[in-house]
Amino acid sequence: MRNDNLRWAVPVEHKVLELSGLTIRQIKPERMTVISGPFRAITKATGIDRAFGWPEVLDGDTYMLRLRRDRVLVVDGPDLADGWNAELGLAISDMTGGYAVFEIEGAEALAFLRRGASVDVRTPSPSVNRLFHGLAAMIYTWRDQSRFRIHVASHMQEAFWTLARNLAGAASEHATT
């Protein structure tokens, strides 16, 4: 069997890209859990009473993102048992290793996101799900209007990182010409 390991970049953790007005860094939440089921049952199981959508500003260490009407992603929430919770009617899946998370901040952060996703702070959405240059992503505002987080599937983190470097580099080159 031939060795194809040199065809792909080895995933590197703790990525950081710093440009004028834009910083992108990989972060690692302790726990990420996807929960599907009735929203009231989800709030009962997690103790979190609200799920955030776009462009609501999140400011907390534990929070819930709305993916669709009956599905959320809980970030750094309680440690819940995987599987079916018959009592509450919930499907619970630990997705800690399933998503790579990047923080995007700076004066150019929103412009960076707009180059690859349909994000308009004047057009709210109950869901954080978006496509970013064709990659399924969860995009939300984090702590203030110039700081965002984006979750992509872990197996797509190198594709996202390469895309981010190329987009940021192109923007940097364009700004200097």
Domains along the sequence of the chain with CATH? 20-176 (3.30.1360.120)
**pLDDT tens across 86-99, in order?**
999 999 999 999 99
Q: Which of 47, 25, 19, 8 is nearest to 149 (CA)?
A: 25
* 136: enclosing H helix or E strand: strand 135-142
**pLDDT tens across 43-92, in order?**
999 999 999 999 999 999 999 999 999 999 999 999 999 999 999 999 99
User: Quick one: pLDDT band at residue 175, thresholds 50, 70, 90?
Assistant: very low
